[in-house]
Amino acid sequence: MELPQSFEERMARWLGAEYPDFRQALEAESVHGLRANRLKVTPEALAARLPFSLEPVPWAPDGFVYGQGERPSRHPYYFAGLYYLQEPSAMLPATLLDVRPGERVLDLCAAPGGKATQLAAALGGRGLLVVNDVHPKRIKALVHNLEVHGVKNAVVTNDYPAHLARVFPAFFDKVLVDAPCSGEGMFRKDPALINEWSLELVTWCIQQQKGLLRHAATMLKPGGRLVYSTCTFNPEENEAIIEWFLRRHPEFELVEVPRQPGWESGRPDWVDGGRPELARCIRLWPHRVRGEGHFVAVLQKRGDAETAVDAARAQRTGPPPHLGKQALEVTPPDPWMAEAVARFEARHFTRPVLTGNERTLVRFGRRLFLMPPNLPDLSAVRLVRPGWLIGDVKKDRYRPSSALALALSVDDVQPERCVHLPSDADEVMAYLRGEPLARTLLPGWNLVTVDGYPLGWLRQLPGRQKNLYPDAWRIKKI
């Protein structure tokens, strides 16, 4: 692997005698992992069913390493959202955020959603997950992953952290800043990053990282936990950022996390004037653990921290210009829409999946959502999803969404409305390609499952069947 000379020189200077081991590790195969989605399946049940050679990831109870040459991205369970493909080191930041069901959690740089889906699983469907990314294109992948994973309590925003900080001062129990970085830790996994790397990129990332942490601090409640992570090795984007942050924010301290074999300490000695506590940061090196390169710092905001000052600071900081077209407005649904949803529920479900919970039915353009409770006014942020997308309204009709199907449990749906396919049936791939199935169905909406895990809807119309698996998600015929 050919690497930029300045990258090699810098790493050799920092690592000294350790450098040859590090350099050799970069020539080895990258490590592949998957993480069970506990919203749908336990890791044990998943491992028992998947035909892959899975070995547990020591620091992520739901994570597994799978073998070289195996292709879990082609297994039907992947499309049912039973797991996320994520390399093992990337599972550490969300694990260390230590999210508990019912908390309010923010993932500030969330696309494409690896850590967001992990946080959603830790919440167990309770509490609130706000996921944000500034990149409009990357948001699409994020939304897709949340929907396939069956996440019902997430609000998705596509805005600058400065805007969010004005709406959510001292609001969250937990905040994750998985920052944009120069990606040195991913060179082995994604060699395209090698050509994108430069010292100018490092400098640009540092500016981003400081801004993100500043706003993240504002949005965290006193007593809350903030995790900062990158997938890069240089100390400028890691320990030096934490040193800068702690100088500016004396209300925070670095948390000492119990170590596991292979985890290395942060390096205060690589930062000018770095405080000894920086050793509490965690470095995952590819020559020390079975995973790619990662850096994680766990920070705690003092319980008595002055939140009024934070809130005032958020108000004073002028927000950047808006990211284009202002979002649609969230409004109450027309009465007939609520009635149509209730009618659909009565006809298709065994229990009040849509009406019997604390979430509020709202309309956002032509779409209907169940919005989590206790949210502040969101009209000032660029909103992508105000909650769980349960369908849309067209020509005076309610149509259920794929996001609804994928968040259902098979017991929610009347048995005669379920089309159960075994995972080795050709019909599974036919369904995922958008084809109709040669089956007699009840008129109306029918849920297709693989081994009892929902995939999406099939609609039986007079004389024809309609496959409602979204165009953008369909697989190509191989």
- Enumerate the active-site residues: 231
Instruction: Among 33, 43, 76, 112, indicate the residue that binds ligand SAM (CB under 6 A).
Output: 112
Burial 181-201, CB ≥16 within 10 A → b, else e? bbbbbbbbbeeebbeebeeeb
Whole-angstrom distance, CA of residue 371 vs CA of residue 178: 25
Whole-angstrom distance, CA of residue 99 vs CA of residue 441: 42
Instruction: Among 4, 19, 25, 135, indicate the residue that binds ligand SAM (CB under 6 A).
Output: 135
Residue 420 in the binding site for ligand SAM (CB under 6 A)? no
Residue 109 in the binding site for ligand SAM (CB under 6 A)? yes
- Cβ neighbours, 10 Å, residue 435: 15
Instruction: Among 76, 88, 113, 235, indicate the residue that binds ligand SAM (CB under 6 A).
Output: 113
Task: Tell me which residues in 357-416 interact with ligand SAM (CB under 6 A).
Answer: none
Q: Which is nearer to ligand SAM, 216 or 371 (CB)?
A: 216
Number of residues that bind ligand SAM (CB under 6 A): 18
Task: Tell me which residues in 168-207 interact with ligand SAM (CB under 6 A).
Answer: 178, 180
Provide the minimum distance between the beta carbon of 112 and ligand SAM in the complex, in angstroms, as a whole number: 5
Residue 288 in the binding site for ligand SAM (CB under 6 A)? no
Q: What is the DSSP letter of 18?
A: G
Q: Which is nearer to ligand SAM, 178 or 292 (CB)?
A: 178
Which helix or strand (DSSP H or E) is residue 426 part of?
helix 426-432
Instruction: Among 23, 55, 78, 138, indicate the residue that binds ligand SAM (CB under 6 A).
Output: 138
Provide the minimum distance between the beta carbon of 289 and ligand SAM in the complex, in angstroms, as a whole number: 18
Provide the minimum distance between the beta carbon of 392 and ligand SAM in the complex, in angstroms, as a whole number: 27
Q: Which is nearer to ligand SAM, 112 or 235 (CB)?
A: 112
Residue 115 in the binding site for ligand SAM (CB under 6 A)? yes
Q: Which residue has the tokens 């952290």?
A: 161
Q: Both tokens of residue 133?
A: 């990314």
**Cα–Cα–Cα angle for 16, 17, 19, nearest 5°?**
70
Per the CB < 8 A criterion, the answer to whether 225 and 97 are in contact is yes
Per the CB < 8 A criterion, the answer to whether 142 and 366 are in contact is no
List strands edge to edge, sheet with 453-461. Answer: 418-421, 444-450, 453-461, 464-467
Instruction: Among 72, 76, 125, 161, indicate the residue that binds ligand SAM (CB under 6 A).
Output: 161
Q: Both tokens of residue 280?
A: 């509490």
Whole-angstrom distance, CA of residue 371 vs CA of residue 353: 14
- Stretch of 127-135, 328-336, 387-395, 446-454 lying at the interface with ligand SAM (CB under 6 A): 127-135
Site mask, ligand SAM, residues 209-238, x = CB under 6 A?
---x--------------------------
Q: Which is nearer to ligand SAM, 227 or 418 (CB)?
A: 227
Whole-angstrom distance, CA of residue 313 vs CA of residue 472: 42
Residue 144 in the binding site for ligand SAM (CB under 6 A)? no
Provide the minimum distance between the beta carbon of 153 and ligand SAM in the complex, in angstroms, as a whole number: 18
Whole-angstrom distance, CA of residue 442 vs CA of residue 105: 41
Cβ neighbourhood burial of 27 (10 Å; 0-12, 13-18, 19+): exposed
Q: Which is nearer to ligand SAM, 158 or 401 (CB)?
A: 158
Per the CB < 8 A criterion, the answer to whether 354 and 369 are in contact is no
Residue 134 in the binding site for ligand SAM (CB under 6 A)? yes
Whole-angstrom distance, CA of residue 52 vs CA of residue 66: 7
- Stretch of 102-110, 193-201, 336-344, 390-398 lying at the interface with ligand SAM (CB under 6 A): 102-110
Task: Tell me which residues in 343-362 interact with ligand SAM (CB under 6 A).
Answer: none
What is the torsional sign of CA 442, 448, 452, 453? negative
Per the CB < 8 A criterion, the answer to whether 469 and 402 are in contact is yes
Provide the minimum distance between the beta carbon of 233 and ligand SAM in the complex, in angstroms, as a whole number: 14
Residue 110 in the binding site for ligand SAM (CB under 6 A)? yes
The footprint of ligand SAM (CB under 6 A) covers 108-115, 132-135, 138, 161, 178, 180, 208, 212
